Structure 1
């Protein structure tokens, strides 16, 4: 299993609409990638490890797939539509990391 983490960097002028992300964007992604998606969830950054310092990421989305190949096959054809929706909830450029889930 792999996790696709979409990290939205925090900055002084960063904006992020978590309500839109949870209610509209993640369901859109789920419909487009279909059964290849095992699970999805979102995190809202609240703080860093240093007291009083802002979180490095304003938000994060995590998508679980069986494999890198299943992610690429499901996401690839819809990449344009998914990326076009970013302007509806953030002004940041996300960073994507694919990780192997270890158990």
Structure 2
């Protein structure tokens, strides 16, 4: 089972500034989190053309629950968490998930 942290970003005051900061500063910072086995993100687009609930969502994946717990307690995660206030002007929601395959 994969364990992940999902980070949902609200629409920022200045999307171009968010994108630049996220790519140049936040991703390299978050990539240092110990035990990280995958890290992807993307901007959201609603299927029906309406405004999506989130501007972007990032997924930080860990192979085991122990890796997730170690990451959450690490100084690298604290640094990345503190950095969020530097660019996430639209707010942010974070949660963990234990992923299960829905297909065979």
Which TM-score band applies after superposition, normalised by the shorter structure?
Answer: 0.7 to 0.9
- 1:27-70 per-residue CA deviation (whole Å, 9 max, x = no partner) reads 11121x23x1111111112x31222x111111111111112221
What RMSD, in angstroms, separates the aligned Cα atoms of the two structures?
Answer: 2.0
Q: Give TM-score scaled by structure 2 length.
A: 0.75
- Higher helix content, 1 or 2: 1
1:1-103 alignment runs, 5 A limit: 1-10=2-11, 14-15=12-13, 16=15, 17-31=18-32, 33-34=33-34, 36-45=35-44, 47-51=45-49, 53-78=50-75, 79-91=77-89, 92-102=91-101
Q: Tell me how far 1:71 sits from its aligned partner.
A: 1.2
The 8 Å contact of residues 7 and 92 in structure 2, kept in 1 or not, is answered as: no
What is the count of residue pairs matched by the alignment? 96
Q: Secondary structure at the match of 2:47?
A: coil
Gaps of 5+ in 1: none
Gaps of 5+ in 2: none
Q: Give TM-score scaled by structure 1 length.
A: 0.76
